[in-house]
Structure 1
Amino acid sequence: METFELILFLLTAVIASSILDKFLPPLSLPLVQIALGAALALAVPTQLEWGIDPELLLILFIAPLHFNESRHVDSGALWKNRWGIASLSVGLVFAIVAACGATLHALLPVVPLAAACALGGAMGSTDAVAVTALTHDRRFGRRREALLKGEALFNDVTGTVVFQCCLTILATGSFSLLHAGEEFALDLFGGFFGGLVMGLLAWGLLQVLRRTGLDNPTLHVMLELLLPFVIYLAAKSLHIGAVIAVVASGLMLSLLPQRHTAATARTKLQAQSVWTTLEFVLNGIIFVVLGMQLPRLLEPAAEGSLGDPATLLGVVVVLTLVLEGVRFLWLLAMDVRAAIARGDGVRSCFAREALRGTLAMALAGAKGGITLSLMLTLTASAALSAAGRATLVSIASGMIVLTLVLADFAVPALTPSKRSAKRTRDRVDAEIDLTLGVIASIEADAHLTGAVKDAAVDAVDEPATVIVMHRYADMLEDLAPAASPAAAARARAEVARVRGLYDQLDGIARRAARWDESEGDIEGEESPAAPSLSDQFHQMRETHDAVEDVQAQALVRELQLIKAMVADDSIDAAHAKDLRNDVYIQQLVLD
């Protein structure tokens, strides 16, 4: 019962954080959830106040989130930038280990060098959840976005292996390069190829179920939800990289051919809805749990039992600056190399806008769940004293919070929002032209769609046409504030015209009810016959069917108009893809 209460408590915290986020616009949702988790840990005692199993954290949260992210990542962009991703996933991690390890040992000589390097290894893993949230809202550019996502998916292996090797050195005092290389290869390549095989087997199972007629949307979604956990546990039993196996299986499923039918489209739509909800819940819980751990992990440092709190805070700040500085210099070197390969001048990398983008990318590599889970395993290590373990965990916790804060405040200031980039006047004007064209086509096609008898509006053939026109007029009203003055004027004029037609529909209801109001009021005039209840329901059913008929035809016309606008260079391919996707979603949910 206590576990059930804890689950309800965490879900309530996630919902509350989403509500609070609306009133705290400067803070991103992850930071709001961390702060709420910390406040709840101080106010309400729960099972989590004594800590959380690191392995449980990985399998319950990291595995499904990595799996879903890898299935939707741009695999073509990952392959195109494979060497850059490898550089960030391997080379940068070793650079961070060396820089952070040496700095921490110099600042606190009581911390063994191997232990300091272990902290550097944990800091080498970026948080895929935070990176996804940042790249979803900010415009880094196609290359940089691919590098950030690829790094977040693949650098966990390097950081984990380095962390484990440092603990081995700390415990035994010896180091075998051959053994470390074997372990790294088994985790990285074994996990990657093992994940590809398991992804292929999962795809084969789904195909068999579909061919035998056993597949249905509910079963398909349940299998998708189960896959990351099964793959993770299978990889652990094979002693290969579990997280990288989950990522590789997701990539394999995204690359293998899928049937495109109405049934698979509905299944995909249902699966996306479930995964979107699950992703929101898991993301929220992991950050709330992280916040609930912080008071326990930072309490020894705040009380002074680990030494001067100001000194520890200074160590956290210096190590974070070293971490971000190494990332920035490494990314700048990669930009210089890419500029040379393109034949551009090296000086272009040092222009103001280029440096802003590089700095934003460096700060976007925030730390989170995997870093915390690795550091929590120190509690099971006998190679460090209790005070030494508490010191390292407190420093790591402080660095996690500081990197998240830097990413939350600095990255938005350095990079433009994707939303604002998509809402340029040219794009809005083009969407207004498209919507005006759709409204005109609806009106022109009125005689081709299903009519509603005895319910005609004078200006058009039947009310269903006006109802659908009114839906598109609402879109025009939303677009007008961001449009150019000329386009906004056209949109508002059309909105006024359509709403005038829509108001005429009230006359239908008034005529239907006139018999009740006029009966006996006008001497010598025969009152209209009262429509029966079944007649009224039949009229409503006819109107509903006709509206769906008109809406379906309007969506077809919209696709045709989008194609024509691409041919006329009125909109670019990326904008057309976004518009078509909106139409496809409406077609899928239209019954």
Structure 2
Amino acid sequence: METFELILFLLTAVIASSILDKFLPPLSLPLVQIALGAALALAVPTPLEWGIDPELLLILFIAPLHFNESRHVDSGALWKNRWGIASLSVGLVFAIVAACGATLHALLPAVPLAAACALGGAMGSTDAVAVTALTHDRRFGRRHEALLKGEALFNDVTGTVVFQCCLTILATGSFSLLHAGEEFALDLFGGFFGGLVMGLLAWGLLQVLRRTGLDNPTLHVMLELLLPFVIYLAAKSLHIGAVIAVVASGLMLSLLPQRHTAATARTKLQAQSVWTTLEFVLNGIIFVVLGMQLPRLLEPAAEGSLGDPATLLGVVVALTLVLEGVRFAWLLAMDVRAAAARGDGVRSCFAPEALRGTLAMALAGAKGGITLSLMLTLTASAALSAAGRATLVSIASGMIVLTLVLADFAVPALTPSKRSAKRTRDRVDAEIDLTLGVIASIEADAHLTGAVKGAAVDAVDEPATVIVMHRYAEMLEDLAPAASPAAAARARAEVARVRGLYDQLDGIARRAARWDESEDDMEEGPDDRPSSRSSAAPSLSDQFHQMRETHDAVEDVQAQALVRELQLIKGMVADGAIDAAHAKDLRNDVYIQQLVLD
């Protein structure tokens, strides 16, 4: 019963966080969820009060989120930037380990150097969940975005191996470079190639199901949801990197050929909806759980049982600055090398705009669930005292919060949003022209689509036409504020015209409703009262029949309007009014509407 109540608490917290996020615009949703989780842990005792199993955190949250992210990542961009991703996933992690380990040992000499380097290894693992949640709406540039996503997917292997090696040194006092190299190779290469094989087997299973007629959208979605857990457990049983195996299998599924039919399109649409919902829930829960752990992990530091709280806070701030400084210096060096390879001047990397982009990417590498799960394993280490373990976990928890706060406030200030970058004035003006053209085509096709007998409006042939025109007029109303003055004026004029036609339909509906009410009053009156029913008024059954015909006609008009919209998009590309990328976005919106309409 306690577990069931915990699930309800977590889901309620995720829903509440999405509501609170609308009233707290300066804060991102992950920070709202962390704060809500901390408040929940302080107010209500839960099973998580005594901690969470790190392995459960990885398999239940990290595995499916990494799997879904890897299936939709740009594999071509990853391959193009493979050496840069390898540099961030291996070289940068070792640099962070050395810098953070040496700094922590210098600030707190009581902490063994190996334990300090273990903290650095945990901090080297950039969390893909946190990165995706905090930066999905920011525009970093194609190269920087590919590097950031690739780093988040692959660098946890290096951080985990370094962390485990440091714990071995603490426990035994010895270190074997050969053993560490074998373990790293088994985790990285074994996990990667094992994941590719398991992804290939999963793809083959889906193809067999389709050919035998056992495939349907529900079965396909359930298999997709099950795959990351099965692959993770299989990789653990083979003693290879489990998280990297999940990532590799997702990449393999995204690269293998898929059939493109109406049935597979519907399946893909349904799967995308389910994964979007699941991703929102899992992302929310993992940040709520992180928030619920923070009071327990930070309590010893706040109470002073680990020493002066101000000193620990200073250590957290200093280590975070070192972490972000090392990331910035490493990324800047990579930018300089890339500029030299392209033949561009090295000075371009030191321009204010370029430095802002590099700094934003450095700060975007927030820490989250993987770092927390690694640090929680310290509770099982006998090489450290209880106070030492608590000190390291408290410092790590503070650094997680601080990196999230920096990413939340600094990254939006340094980089533009994708929405604002895409929603330029020229793009909005082009979309207004497209929508005006669609409305004109709907009106011109009124006599060809969805006839409704006896329901004509004065200015147009059919009420269904007006209803669909009004839908597109609402789109114009949304576009007008971001358009140029001339385009906004055209949009508002058309909105006013279509709204006038729509009001005529409302007037007809209101008159029909008043007639029904008066007719009911007459039927309920005395028998000797003269009937006021007019022979010209439609009966109730006629009205229902007309409503049914209007509904069917609206679907016909909407379907034809979407076809016309695709034709107009093609013409605008040919005329140079919109570019190929903008046309692709517009066509995708039309395709989704067509699938929903079918």
Q: TM-score, normalised by structure 1?
A: 0.97
Matched, 1:540 2:547: yes
Q: Deviations over 1:360-391 (max 9, x none)?
A: 00000000000000000011011111111111
Query: Contact conserved, 1:446 with 1:461, CA < 8 A, in 2?
Result: yes
Equivalent-residue separation in structure 1 for 2:517 and 2:335 (angstroms)? 78
Cα distance change of structure 1 residues 74 and 137 upon mapping to structure 2, 3 Å threshold = same
Give SS of 1:530's match. coil
Q: Calculate percent identity across the aligned residue pairs.
A: 97
Check 1:226–1:516 CA distance in 2 against 1; reply closer, same or farther (3 A cut).
Answer: closer
* Structure 1 residues 508 and 309: CA distance shift in structure 2, 3 A: closer
Match of 1:243 in 2: 243
CA contact (8 A) 1:81 1:147 kept: yes
- Residue 506 of structure 1 and its aligned partner are, at CA, apart by 3.7
Query: Structure 1 pair 493/104, CA: closer, same or farther in 2 (3 Å)?
Result: same
Determine the C-alpha separation between the residues in 1 that align with 2:84 and 2:556: 51
**Partner secondary structure for residue 204 of structure 1:** helix
- Offset of 1:507 from its aligned partner? 5.2
Matched residues in 2 for 1:457 and 1:318: separation?
A: 72
Shift of 1:534: 2.8
How far does residue 519 in structure 1 lie from its aligned partner after superposition?
8.8
Instruction: Verify the 8 A CA contact 2:294 2:397 in the aligned structure 1.
Output: yes
Tell me: CA distance 1:518–1:77, structure 2 relative to 1, closer, same or farther (3 Å).
same
CA distance in 2, matches of 1:135, 1:407: 8
Cα distance between partner residues in 2 of 1:538 and 1:386: 77
Counterpart-to-counterpart distance in 1, 2:96 and 2:398: 17
CA contact (8 A) 1:428 1:483 kept: yes
| Contact preservation (8 Å) 2:372, 2:397 | yes
CA distance 1:521–1:198, shift in 2 (3 Å): closer
Structure 1 pair 345–519 and aligned structure 2 pair: CA distance change class (3 A): closer
- Aligned-pair CA distance for 1:512: 4.9
Shift of 1:261: 1.3
Structure 1 unpaired stretches of 5+:
none
In 1, distance between residues paired with 2:9 and 2:517? 56
Q: Are 1:261 and 2:261 counterparts?
A: yes
Shift of 1:43: 1.4
Deviations for 1:480-539, whole angstroms, at most 9, x for unmatched residues? 1111110011001111111122222245436756876999999x9993345333322211
How large is the Cα RMSD of the aligned pairs? 1.9
Closer/same/farther in 2, CA of residues 511 and 37 from structure 1, 3 Å limit:
closer
* SS class of match (2:520): coil
The farther-off stretch of 114-123 and 18-27 is 18-27
1:506/1:30 CA distance change after superposition, 3 Å: closer
Q: What is the distance in 2 between the residues matched to 1:545 and 1:407?
A: 50
| 8 Å contact kept, 2:28–2:134 | no
Residues 516 and 540 of structure 2 are in contact (CA less than 8 Å); yes or no, is this contact kept in structure 1? no
In 2, the alpha carbon distance for the partners of 1:514 and 1:103 equals 80
Checking the alignment, whether the CA contact within 8 Å between 1:455 and 1:508 is kept in structure 2 is no
Asked if the contact 1:117–1:163 (Cα under 8 Å) also holds between the matched residues in 2, the reply is yes
Q: CA offsets, 1:332-367, max 9 Å, x none?
A: 000001100111000000000000000000000000
**How far is the alpha carbon of 1:550 from its aligned partner?**
0.5
SS at match of 2:136: helix
The structural deviation recorded for 1:20 is 1.3
CA contact (8 A) 2:119 2:396 kept: yes
Distance, in Å, in 1 between the alignment partners of 2:268 and 2:512 is: 44
- Mapped contact 2:119–2:375 kept (Cα < 8 A): yes
Give, in whole Å, the separation in 2 of the partners of 1:518 and 1:380.
79
Stretch deviating more after TM superposition (239-248 or 500-509): 500-509
Q: In 1, Cα distance between the equivalents of 2:597 and 2:585?
A: 19
| d(CA) in 2 for partners of 1:452, 1:150 | 56
Helix, strand or coil at the partner of 2:115: helix
Give structure 2 stretches of 5+ with no counterpart: 523-530
CA 1:346 to 1:51, structure 2 compared with 1: closer, same or farther past 3 Å?
A: same
| Per-residue deviation, 1:135 | 2.9
Shift of 1:134: 3.0
CA deviations 1:216-265 (Å, max 9, x no partner) are: 11111111111100000000000000000000011111111111111111
CA offset digits 1:10-45 (Å, max 9, x no partner): 111111111111111111111111111111111111
* Higher mean C-alpha deviation, range 569-578 or range 332-341: 569-578
The count of residues paired between Structure 1 and Structure 2 equals 590
Distance in 2 separating the partners of 1:207 and 1:533: 53
For the residues of structure 2 that align with 1:129 and 1:512, how far apart are their CA atoms?
Answer: 55
Q: Secondary structure at the match of 1:27?
A: coil
- Secondary structure of the equivalent of 1:519? helix
Give the Å deviation of 1:403: 0.4
Change (3 A) 1:528 1:212: same
Answer yes or no: is the 8 Å Cα contact 2:28–2:408 preserved in 1. yes
Question: What does the per-residue CA deviation read over 1:194-224, in whole Å, with 9 as the maximum and x for residues that have no partner?
Answer: 0011111111111111111111111111111
Question: Does the aligned pair in 2 maintain the 1:514–1:528 contact within 8 Å?
Answer: no
Alpha carbons of structure 1 residues 54 and 514: separation in structure 2 relative to 1, 3 Å: closer
Judging changes above 3 Å, is the alpha-carbon distance between structure 1 residues 512 and 395 closer, same or farther for their aligned structure 2 residues? closer
The equivalent residue for 1:97 is 97
Matched, 1:557 2:564: yes
CA contact (8 A) 2:139 2:418 kept: yes
Change (3 A) 1:313 1:514: closer
Preserved contact between residue 235 and residue 242 of structure 1 (Cα < 8 Å)? yes
**Residues 469 and 498 in structure 2, CA contact (< 8 A), matched pair in contact too:** yes
Worse-superposed segment, 261-270 or 324-333: 261-270
Q: Residues 519 and 527 of structure 1 are in contact (CA less than 8 Å); yes or no, is this contact kept in structure 2? A: no
Counterparts in 2 of 1:207-356, with a 5 A limit?
A: 207-356=207-356
Q: Is the 8 A contact 2:435 2:476 kept in 1?
A: yes
How far apart are the structure 1 equivalents of 2:205 and 2:54? Answer: 31
CA separation of 1:519 and 1:295: change in aligned 2, threshold 3 A: closer
Task: Please state whether the residue corresponding to 2:447 is helix, strand or coil.
Answer: helix
Inter-partner Cα distance in structure 2 for 1:118 and 1:63? 23
CA distance, structure 1, for counterparts of residue 94 and residue 295 of structure 2: 30
Is the contact between residue 199 and residue 248 of structure 2 (CA under 8 Å) also seen in structure 1? yes
CA deviation after TM superposition for structure 1 residue 463, in Å: 1.1
In structure 2, what is the Cα distance between the partners aligned to 1:334 and 1:515? Answer: 76
Q: Distance in 2 between matches of 1:555 and 1:585?
A: 10
User: How far, CA to CA, are the matches of 1:382 and 1:186 in structure 2?
Assistant: 26
Query: Structure 1 residues 370, 443: closer, same or farther in 2, change over 3 A?
Result: same
Contact 1:515–1:527 (8 Å) recurs in 2 = no
- Larger displacement relative to structure 2 (229-238 or 40-49): 40-49
Does the CA contact (< 8 Å) of 1:63 and 1:232 recur in 2? yes
Deviates more, 1:393-402 or 1:443-452: 443-452
Evaluate the alpha carbon distance shift between residue 103 and residue 441 of structure 1 in structure 2; reply closer, same or farther with a 3 A threshold: same
Partners of 2:204 and 2:519 in 1: how far apart? Answer: 71
Where 1:448 maps in the other structure, the secondary structure is: coil
Q: CA deviation at 1:571?
A: 1.1
Distance 1:514 1:48 in 2: 60
Counterparts in 2 of 1:502 and 1:314: CA distance versus 1, 3 Å: same
Q: Within 5 A, what are the aligned runs for 1:424-573? A: 424-506=424-506, 508-509=508-509, 512=512, 527-573=534-580
Q: CA deviation at 1:283?
A: 0.7
Distance 1:322 1:211 in 2: 56
Give a deviation string over 1:418-441, Cα, whole Å, max 9, x none: 111122111110110000010111
Partner secondary structure for residue 460 of structure 2: coil
Contact 2:133/2:283, CA 8 A, preserved across alignment: no
Q: Which moved more, 1:48-57 or 1:167-176?
A: 167-176
Match of 2:75 in 1: 75
Cα distance 1:72–1:516, how it changes in 2: closer, same or farther (>3 A)?
A: closer
- Alignment partner of 1:137: what SS? coil
